[in-house]
A and B are shown apart, each in its own frame.
Chain A
Amino acid sequence: MGYEAVIGLEVHVQLSTKSKVFCSCSTEFGAPPNTHVCPVCLGMPGSLPVLNKKAVEYAVKAALALNCRVNLKSVFARKNYFYPDLPKGYQISQYDMPLAEDGYIEIETEKGSKRIRIKRVHMEEDAGKNIHGEGDDPFSYVDLNRAGVPLIEIVSEPDISSPEEARLYLQKLRTIMRYIGVSNADMEKGELRCDANVSIRPKGSDKLGTKTELKNMNSFRHVQRALEYEIERQISVVEEGGQVEQETRLWNPHLGITETMRKKEEEHDYRYFPEPDLVPLVLTEQFVENMRSELPELPDEKKKRFMDQYGLSAYDSEVLCSSRELADYYEKAVSAYNNPKAIANWVMVELLGRLNKESKDVTQSPIKPEQVAKLVELIDKGTISGKIGKQVFDIMYKEGGDPEAIVKEKGLVQITDAGEIEKFVDEVIAECPEEVQKYLKGKTKVIGYLVGQVMKKTKGKANPQLVNKLLREKLEGMKG
């Protein structure tokens, strides 16, 4: 029997405000331990939190970009548990009255577009950071610089059905957060963190199986691998006649497995209650509309526009719109020379291929968009062949320079003079009697080899269509 996975993700995104969410301590990363702390974020008695307006603005923008309905009234709540990185003994979060609900985003899978619904978006504060002593060291070390940094938690509905989709969903969230400028959302830096709820069920069933919660996955790759492992694990439990137990499991990246962290009966009872230190957050329609008007063109809108305006596929548009910088780069190139499809190909295959290999992004591209445009124009005009184009691109990437100058300097201009090409064609016919005989006996496919020989002689500079035409004429002439 086949199984399908049902996955829901809880994602935390750090908002890039200058100060913390309930006090004025800096949120800057990398300061010496416990230097960005004050009585409020240390949880000292008598101190009171005051909400950061910018954090609310960012959270509302994020909620709108995720197509959520913003609740004009939301309430902060205390989530109570004991852990050394939580100085107050509770985390200020939102519970029964979250900031926003009922949104969705779209991901581009191999099978087409898929909508993943978002259940809620709420605001909360981050906890501090623990460093555990190594080996015999019986201590842990706590740095509270991060305690109180603003977060939003984005909870999806269980609409994700594969590890691949989970990765696409997370990448889309990152793209959106970066577009709207509320977070850098870098997973490696902990600016975007993800927990997953996973269960399996027989294919086509609409019943939900018992789920496990996965934690400690701190890169896109780890999320995908952890989910792949966990789904396989649950399937084998069921196939061996067992039952999946509801529990929280930790991803162990070194062993590539998930391990039990706590069982159901050890789950926390957070005893949420309204935070008496903070008054409810009441927003006006006007405020929400102001935030909406400040949003840039969002990734999905841009993607649709790219498909309409440039005639690109959904997949190509998705890739080109994966960052604002890349989309801008592409549009600059297209505005310099109007061949959107060819430019999309060069940018996606040749440019991104090279940049990705060096873990760089488009802002670090040694080639300017206008130069890509010029290169495509040179090919379209027949000044150089596509094959030579790749050579030129390589030189542009490694050594810099304008395509025209490179073509001139290296003598790469395509030979389109029939007389000149004819000389090479005659040479090849004289040098390859066997292949010529084959052709004459009807194996006309061999012409590909002969064209290749001519191209080799001309160092790729001959116009391949012309070579083909001349060869064919000559060979057909020999038949008679």
Chain B
Amino acid sequence: MAISREEVLYIAKLARLEFDREKVEEFTHQLGKILEYINKLSELDISDVEPTYHVLDMVSVMREDVVGQSLPQEEALSNAPDSKDGFFRVPKIIGGE
């Protein structure tokens, strides 16, 4: 397998996802297959190829430093499950980022 069960669990943890036992087996299998398929690319010699950072053939797209319209506060908060006094309200954060 191209990926271990532990790696799947670690990535799930990083992504804040929880799965039951069977799903973990299933995903380990599926992810492994995807990785094996992608690994086909490593058969190519790309030592002379520059890494592609972007698929578009464009660089340095920029805008002028001009202030535009922001959303009204009400609208900004409208999708949030909870808010108060103009703030998004979330369960208390313990520890730092």
Asked if A353 is at the interface (CB within 8 A of a chain B CB), the reply is no
Among listed B22-30, B38-46, B87-95, interface-contacting one: B87-95
Asked if A56 is at the interface (CB within 8 A of a chain B CB), the reply is yes
Q: Would you call B89 and A56 a contact (CB within 8 A)?
A: no
The CA-CA distance from A392 to B21 in the complex, in Å, is 85
Please indicate the chain B residues that have their CB under 8 angstroms from the CB of A283 in the complex. 60
Asked if A81 is at the interface (CB within 8 A of a chain B CB), the reply is yes
The count of chain A contact residues (Cβ–Cβ below 8 Å) is 63
Over the window 276-298 of chain A, the binary record of Cβ atoms lying under 8 Å from chain B Cβ atoms (1 yes, 0 no) is: 10111111000000000000000
Q: Would you call B54 and A51 a contact (CB within 8 A)?
A: no
The CA-CA distance from A455 to B66 in the complex, in Å, is 66
Q: Would you call B59 and A38 a contact (CB within 8 A)?
A: no
Please indicate the chain A residues that have their CB under 8 angstroms from the CB of B95 in the complex. 261-262
The CA-CA distance from A81 to B16 in the complex, in Å, is 10
Q: Would you call A279 and B58 a contact (CB within 8 A)?
A: yes
B31 to chain A, nearest CB (A): 15
Q: Would you call A84 and B68 a contact (CB within 8 A)?
A: no
Q: Would you call B71 and A37 a contact (CB within 8 A)?
A: yes
Asked if B47 is at the interface (CB within 8 A of a chain A CB), the reply is no
Q: Would you call A51 and B92 a contact (CB within 8 A)?
A: no
Asked if B49 is at the interface (CB within 8 A of a chain A CB), the reply is no
Q: Would you call B70 and A131 a contact (CB within 8 A)?
A: no
The CA-CA distance from A140 to B93 in the complex, in Å, is 6
Asked if A242 is at the interface (CB within 8 A of a chain B CB), the reply is no
Over the window 16-40 of chain A, the binary record of Cβ atoms lying under 8 Å from chain B Cβ atoms (1 yes, 0 no) is: 0111000111100000111111110
Q: Would you call A279 and B70 a contact (CB within 8 A)?
A: no
Please indicate the chain B residues that have their CB under 8 angstroms from the CB of A276 in the complex. 54
Q: Which of B48-84 contact A (CB under 8 A)?
A: 53-54, 56, 58-73, 76-77, 79, 84
A25 to chain B, nearest CB (A): 5
Q: Would you call B65 and A18 a contact (CB within 8 A)?
A: yes
Question: Given A274-B54, A276-B54, are A24 and B67 neighbors across the interface (CB < 8 Å)?
Answer: yes
Among listed A2-10, A61-69, A141-149, interface-contacting one: A141-149
Over the window 55-92 of chain A, the binary record of Cβ atoms lying under 8 Å from chain B Cβ atoms (1 yes, 0 no) is: 11000000000000000010100001111111000000
Interface range on chain B (Cβ under 8 Å from partner): 35 or more
Choice from B70, B73, B90 contacting A142 with Cβ under 8 Å: B90
Main secondary structure of the interface of A (DSSP, over half): loop
Question: Given A19-B67, A140-B92, are A33 and B53 neighbors across the interface (CB < 8 Å)?
Answer: no
Q: Would you call A50 and B67 a contact (CB within 8 A)?
A: no
Please indicate the chain A residues that have their CB under 8 angstroms from the CB of B72 in the complex. 35
Please indicate the chain A residues that have their CB under 8 angstroms from the CB of B79 in the complex. 44
B8 to chain A, nearest CB (A): 14
Asked if A137 is at the interface (CB within 8 A of a chain B CB), the reply is yes
Q: Would you call B70 and A38 a contact (CB within 8 A)?
A: yes
Q: Would you call B66 and A131 a contact (CB within 8 A)?
A: no
Q: Would you call A18 and B93 a contact (CB within 8 A)?
A: no
Choice from B14, B59, B70 contacting A271 with Cβ under 8 Å: B14
Please indicate the chain A residues that have their CB under 8 angstroms from the CB of B62 in the complex. 50-53, 56
Asked if B18 is at the interface (CB within 8 A of a chain A CB), the reply is no
Q: Would you call A18 and B77 a contact (CB within 8 A)?
A: no
Asked if A130 is at the interface (CB within 8 A of a chain B CB), the reply is yes
Please indicate the chain A residues that have their CB under 8 angstroms from the CB of B64 in the complex. 53-54
B73 to chain A, nearest CB (A): 5
The CA-CA distance from A175 to B84 in the complex, in Å, is 40
Asked if B6 is at the interface (CB within 8 A of a chain A CB), the reply is no
Please indicate the chain A residues that have their CB under 8 angstroms from the CB of B53 in the complex. 75, 97, 274, 280
Q: Would you call B76 and A142 a contact (CB within 8 A)?
A: no
Please indicate the chain B residues that have their CB under 8 angstroms from the CB of A50 in the complex. 61-63
Q: Would you call A139 and B89 a contact (CB within 8 A)?
A: yes
Q: Would you call B61 and A138 a contact (CB within 8 A)?
A: no
Asked if A132 is at the interface (CB within 8 A of a chain B CB), the reply is yes
Please indicate the chain A residues that have their CB under 8 angstroms from the CB of B69 in the complex. 24, 38
Q: Would you call B93 and A281 a contact (CB within 8 A)?
A: no
Q: Would you call A24 and B63 a contact (CB within 8 A)?
A: yes
Over the window 465-476 of chain A, the binary record of Cβ atoms lying under 8 Å from chain B Cβ atoms (1 yes, 0 no) is: 000000000000
A10 to chain B, nearest CB (A): 14
The CA-CA distance from A80 to B13 in the complex, in Å, is 13
Asked if A133 is at the interface (CB within 8 A of a chain B CB), the reply is yes
Question: Given A139-B89, A140-B92, A274-B53, are A35 and B59 neighbors across the interface (CB < 8 Å)?
Answer: no
Please indicate the chain A residues that have their CB under 8 angstroms from the CB of B92 in the complex. 132-133, 137-140
Asked if A226 is at the interface (CB within 8 A of a chain B CB), the reply is no
Asked if A211 is at the interface (CB within 8 A of a chain B CB), the reply is no
Q: Would you call A84 and B60 a contact (CB within 8 A)?
A: no
Q: Would you call B68 and A19 a contact (CB within 8 A)?
A: yes
A209 to chain B, nearest CB (A): 24
The CA-CA distance from A139 to B81 in the complex, in Å, is 13
The CA-CA distance from A259 to B46 in the complex, in Å, is 48
The 8 A-B pairs at the shortest CB distance, nearest first, are namely A24-B68, A54-B65, A141-B87, A282-B59, A142-B88, A53-B62, A33-B86, A83-B97
Q: A19-B65, A132-B93, A139-B84 are in contact. List 10 more A-B contacts (CB 8 A).
A: A24-B63, A25-B67, A25-B68, A37-B70, A83-B93, A127-B97, A130-B93, A141-B84, A278-B61, A279-B58
Interchain Cβ contacts under 8 Å between A and B, 24 examples: A24-B63, A25-B67, A25-B70, A33-B85, A38-B68, A42-B76, A50-B61, A50-B63, A53-B62, A53-B64, A75-B53, A80-B14, A83-B93, A83-B97, A84-B90, A97-B53, A139-B84, A139-B92, A140-B92, A140-B93, A142-B87, A143-B88, A278-B61, A281-B60
